[in-house]
Chains A and B, each alone.
Chain A
Amino acid sequence: MRILVVEDSDILRENLSLGLRKSGYAVDAAAEGKDALWHAESSAYDVIVLDIMLPGLDGVSLLQRLRAQGVDTPVLFLTARDTVADRVHGLRAGADDYLVKPFAFDELLARIEALARRRYGAAERVRRCGELVIDLAAKTVTRAGRPLTLRAREFALLELLALRAGEVVGRAEIERCIYDAHVEPMSNVVESAIYALRRAIDAPGRPSYIQTRRGLGYVFADPAAGAG
């Protein structure tokens, strides 16, 4: 999942980015409205966390311009403005959610996850694939009832594949979701990540949940169903 954080407070922006990266998201950050517009126009994001009071171009105007350009990325307003009128104004401008400062980081994470799930049409927080059960909210994975240990980035990759289960997910899309703009992905970084995820979720000696479609990408599916 790739997130754009737009916040003019240096400390808040830095810590939000850090916390989200540690939680497995690829994060780009912008301090000004015009920078944020450039980011949003030049890259695809799963969620945009947007402050309203920004220098240059304010958050509401930025959102209206994005919506006018057809960008439908879920936007969460993060702002100190807490009146009902402010919330209504923000939501009517096209925001998908609204969180007032100060906020709990866990709540922000939960809201970002909900927005991401909604984006991929997954209302349920739990996804099942054969013996694999993925709790998108609790960020836990079990296989045949036994909990598996995944790193944040491995879970983010699994989440992306699980939300698109049965579909081919291209290499570029995986790169975009796993790595933010500040990281220059190596040529084999996707293969390395897929390899690590397979080791984490596949049962030894059994077909993998992640199938490679040469030249196209990867498909997440229940190997038992495919065999049958």
Chain B
Amino acid sequence: MSAPRSWWRNLLGSLRARLLLASLIGFIALLLGAGWFVVQRARTLLIEQFHASLTSDLRAMGAHLWLDASGAVYVDWNETYLPEYAAPSGSMAFQLWLEDGTKVQRSPLLEQGRGDLPRWGGALTAPGIGDWWLPDGRHAIAATALLVPRASFDPATTQHDPAILTREVELAVARDATALDAALADLETTVRWVALLAPALAALLLALGLSRGLRPLSRLAQRAAEIDRPDARLRFPTERLPSELLPIAQRLNELLARIEAVFQRERRFTSDAAHELRTPIAELRTLSEVALRFGDDPEHARRALDQAHSIARRMGDMVATLLSLARKNLMSADVLRETVPIVAAVEAAWAAHAPKAESRALAVRVTAPPEFSADTDPSLLNAILSNLFANACEYTAPGGRIQLQVEARPDGFAVRVANTVQDLDAGDLPQLFEPFWRKQGARNDREHFGLGLALARNLAELIGMRLDASLPNPREIAFELRPRG
């Protein structure tokens, strides 16, 4: 019994949900990072621009700073030249101090509100800049610098104290920053809304995109659900399939083709087995019905019994061979690995068939190297060779020729069995190893079922070898047992 799945596993049970969640998390993280970066960068740029503008204002105001011969310092301004400083509720303000901090002059905005600007020092090229609050409470940014006022008189011709020419004063200007603050607040609000709404929109778009993008996968899954039997018409479509899914569909189609081939082979085997059993059953049924119907002749009854016994023995042999074939397909785990003297094994297997070859006047030629050994299963090797030799002795016409050739190979050994034939052609080769296959002319042979070569090939595969047949010439067939390449 499987453990219950946790809720989050259920939630993330589908590939689509996983992709959606992962994409969404990534998108939100990217969005927040990008939003933060954009806001910070915009703030910096806007403030730098504000500072630059304020510094220009400070320089412009500095250009209007004068010193008279009495040592008085003043900013020469009026509403015409610098109107932005004139309005009591305007956006700009300035203030001038002597070096010792004595307030000299300030703009109407400061006068009315009785406020001051900061004294942060600095120079015109690098003024002191910072936040400040105007007397009416508005946020402003102020810039201050220490500078030497220009003389409004000719020092060469006018009497004056020379010390006043080098005396520094401090000038400050400030500008209302509420517009900048509003712009920055707007930017942040916009980014916040984007950060809030974008994930929802992104989730929707991602869901739609994933649904569309994963449609081929859904079709693949739907097709898989429809494939409930091995049928050549039921295959995964490969047209217009994404490149990621194409190899999967192709491999699955190949797998289905192999499964179908196995099923077809099984069905053919079952059909062939049933077909092969029809004739002995028909014989048995007919002879028994005739014997029962006309059984008054003891001689006929005895003959019928003999025939029934012969049929039973033949069917028993067939069933034994079929069982052997079925078991050999399952017993790969039981294959032995022993050091086997191959030449001796071939000679021993041949010895059982030599009398039959002799009785049929077959010319036999054996070619073998000096004895050598190879690792294999001796009993399975004997069974393979015995089937090959029996086949050669049975189907070589009287007076024909059999050639046995043994060869040592670096990876084991090879055995070649060739014999003369009369009625085989290249079209028969693919069917030679099919269970129950016999050439048409050989089907009236009731002692053989056409299972020997199928069994031999299965056994060869079990011991890691392959068994193939070829027609070196139209009157000779050759079977070769060799290591699986």
Nearest Cβ on chain A to B345's Cβ, whole angstroms: 36
What total count of A-B pairs have CB within 8 Å?
A: 79
- Asked if A105 contacts B282 (CB within 8 A), the reply is no
Of the listed stretches A53-61, A196-204, A211-219, chain B binds A53-61
Interface centre among A56, A104, A105 (most CB of B within 10 A): A105
**CB<8 Å pairs between A and B, sample of 9:** A9-B279, A9-B283, A9-B444, A12-B282, A15-B286, A15-B291, A22-B293, A31-B444, A104-B289
A8 interface residue per 8 A CB criterion: yes
Which 8 pairs across A and B sit closest by C-beta, in order of nearness?
A101-B282, A19-B290, A102-B282, A80-B278, A8-B444, A105-B289, A22-B294, A15-B287
List residues 264-300 of chain B with CB under 8 A from any CB of chain A.
275, 278-279, 281-287, 289-291, 293-294, 300
- Asked if B283 contacts A12 (CB within 8 A), the reply is yes
A15-B441 contact given A80-B278, A103-B282, A103-B285, CB 8 Å threshold: no
- Asked if B444 contacts A55 (CB within 8 A), the reply is yes
- Asked if A80 contacts B286 (CB within 8 A), the reply is no
Number of residues in B with C-beta < 8 Å to the partner? 26
Of the listed stretches B39-47, B201-209, B303-311, B373-381, chain A binds B303-311
Residue of B275, B290, B440 touching A18 (CB-CB under 8 A): B290
- Asked if B443 contacts A53 (CB within 8 A), the reply is yes
A-side binding surface: helix, strand, loop or mixed?
Answer: loop
Residue of B294, B311, B440 touching A11 (CB-CB under 8 A): B311
List residues 368-406 of chain B with CB under 8 A from any CB of chain A.
none
- Asked if B281 contacts A102 (CB within 8 A), the reply is yes
Q: Which residues of B contact A56 (CB under 8 A)?
A: 441
- Asked if B300 contacts A11 (CB within 8 A), the reply is no
Query: Can you name the residue of chain B whose Cβ is closest to the Cβ of A104?
Result: B289
B223 interface residue per 8 A CB criterion: no
Q: Which B positions have Cβ atoms within 8 angstroms of A?
A: 275, 278-279, 281-287, 289-291, 293-294, 300, 304, 307, 310-311, 440-444, 446
- Asked if A80 contacts B275 (CB within 8 A), the reply is yes
Residue of B278, B290, B443, B444 touching A105 (CB-CB under 8 A): B290
Q: Which residues of A contact B289 (CB under 8 A)?
A: 19, 104-106
- Asked if A11 contacts B283 (CB within 8 A), the reply is yes
- Asked if A55 contacts B440 (CB within 8 A), the reply is yes
CA distance A58 to B440 in the complex (A): 9
CA distance A83 to B401 in the complex (A): 40
CA distance A10 to B303 in the complex (A): 13
CA distance A88 to B152 in the complex (A): 130
CA distance A205 to B290 in the complex (A): 39
- Asked if B278 contacts A53 (CB within 8 A), the reply is no
- Asked if A12 contacts B293 (CB within 8 A), the reply is no
Nearest Cβ on chain B to A215's Cβ, whole angstroms: 38
- Asked if A105 contacts B293 (CB within 8 A), the reply is yes
Residue of A16, A54, A80, A82 touching B279 (CB-CB under 8 A): A80
Besides A15-B307, A103-B286, 10 more A-B contacts (Cβ < 8 Å) are A9-B282, A10-B446, A11-B283, A18-B294, A55-B444, A56-B441, A58-B440, A101-B281, A103-B285, A105-B293
List residues 11-31 of chain A with CB under 8 A from any CB of chain B.
11-12, 14-16, 18-19, 22, 31
Nearest Cβ on chain A to B423's Cβ, whole angstroms: 11
Q: Which residues of A contact B279 (CB under 8 A)?
A: 9, 12, 80, 101
- Asked if A22 contacts B290 (CB within 8 A), the reply is yes
- Asked if A11 contacts B281 (CB within 8 A), the reply is no
Q: Which residues of B contact A100 (CB under 8 A)?
A: 278
Q: Which residues of B contact A31 (CB under 8 A)?
A: 444
Q: Which residues of A contact B444 (CB under 8 A)?
A: 8-9, 31, 54-55
Query: Can you name the residue of chain A whose Cβ is closest to the Cβ of B286?
Result: A15
